[in-house]
Amino acid sequence: MHSGHGPRGFLLVLRDWVPVMAVVWTYSLLRGYGARTPWGPYLWPQQRADELLGFGETLTVRLQHGLWTPGSPHWYDYAAVTVYMSHFFMVFVVLAVLWRRRHDRFRHLLTCYLVLTFAGFATYILYPAVPPWLASQEGHLPALTRVVSDVLGQSGLPRAASVFENGSQFANDVAAMPSLHSAYPAMLLFFFWPTAARWLRVLLVAYPLAMTFTLVYGAEHFLVDVFVGWAYAAAAVYGVRWLRERRRTRSLAASRPAPAAAAGAGVRTTVGTGRLDP
């Protein structure tokens, strides 16, 4: 457990958190450059997969036609905004709690987060993918609304909404496959599930499901983007866990005395008698 107080605590904060912020900033910058690939972006595979899952129509179109009311947000629209925005701080809140209470788990979860994040970035370069809202703007889908952006604008938060509308140097409109918005909640689920209490498991399951509804209903991602995000999260968590267990096993094996040395240490020869005494 780290107290975070005094000179030593300050140095621990610098040691553990400055690299994290540097990595996040680097990823954000590279994410913007990732939009300038010479190939793609791709739409047909994920759109076709969603149409199959939606029995002929994408789930985003079905949900918005059934639930969205232009100019009059419902309670679930505001809930969707809250869930969507939690993506930008939830993992860091959990990391901060672990940093104070379980530093070994802090480093473990941080490794999973970094592996997952950069695996997603590599995929954005190799497979730039069009999200539903952009497919709608290009005429490949019926008219759709970016629900989070629209609700933020109607709520008197134009600055937050402008991030969606105008982008920035860190923006990448075709960074949709996999959905890291869905991958991070799934990462928390896979990471904490083995040791979580029953009430916490309910929250761990509810959070990814709520994020899935938000992303698909809000036209931010196709459902297949979410599924791929879950797969990436599982690969990151269980892959890192396997590597840690393998390293721990090797360390234990290296710390044990060799069998021959152990046998030699347990017996001695009595000179002149030809017998072995324990």
Q: Which residue has the higher pLDDT, 220 or 256?
A: 220
- Cα gap 72→48, rounded to integer Å: 31
Tokens at residue 243, please? 């590597």
How much is the pLDDT for 221? 98
Average pLDDT over the chain, rounded to an integer: 86
Structure confidence by residue, pLDDT tens digits, 144-164 = 999 999 999 888 765 555 555
Given a cut of 50, is residue 278 above it in pLDDT? no
| Residue 30: per-residue pLDDT | 67
Residue 4: its pLDDT value, please? 54
Predicted confidence at residue 186, as pLDDT, reads 98
User: Mean pLDDT over residues 18-24, rounded?
Assistant: 81
pLDDT at position 269, please?
A: 44
Do residues 4 and 13 touch, judged by C-beta distance below 8 A? Answer: yes
Confidence of residue 27 (pLDDT cuts 50, 70, 90): confident
Segment 250-269 shows an average pLDDT of 64
Beta bridge partners of 277: 268
CA 182 to chain centroid: 7
Which of 19-23, 180-184, 187-191, 198-202 is predicted with the least confidence, judged by mean pLDDT? 19-23
Smallest CA-to-CA distance from 98 within 83, 87, 109, 88 is with 109
Instruction: Name the nearest CA neighbour of 73 among 163, 148, 165.
Output: 148
